[in-house]
Amino acid sequence: MKNLVVALVILFSQTTLAQASDRKSLQLSPTTTIKGNAPGLRVLIVVTTREVKTRELIGSRFREGNFPELTTIVQNITLTVNGKDMFVPPSAFMDLYWVYEAELALTRNSAALIIYGGDGMESFKVRIEFDKARVKRRALFSPARSAKPAEQTLYYEPTSN
Write out pLDDT tens, residues 89-142.
Answer: 999 999 998 999 999 999 877 799 999 999 887 899 999 999 999 999 999 999
Q: What is the pLDDT of residue 135?
A: 97
Average pLDDT over residues 32-51: 95
Predicted confidence at residue 91, as pLDDT, reads 97
- 73 burial (CB, 10 Å; 0-12 / 13-18 / 19+) is buried
When pLDDT is cut at 50, 70 and 90, the band that residue 64 belongs to is: low
**Phi-psi domain of 78 (left: phi exceeds 0; alpha: psi -120 through 50; beta: other):** beta
Looking at residue 14, its pLDDT comes to 40
> b or e along 126-149 (b: 16 or more beta carbons within 10 Å of the residue's beta carbon)?
bbbbbeeebbbbbbbbbeeeeeeb
Higher pLDDT, 144 or 81: 81
Give CA–CA dist 36/68, Å, rounded: 32
- Three state DSSP letters for 6-54: HHHHHHHHHHHHCEECCCEECCCCCEEEEEEEECCEEEEEEEEEEEEEH
Give the mean model confidence (pLDDT) for residues 37-45.
93
Sign of CA dihedral 34, 88, 67, 53: positive
Examine the pLDDT at 11 and tell me if it is beyond 50.
no
| Amino acid making up residue 38 | A
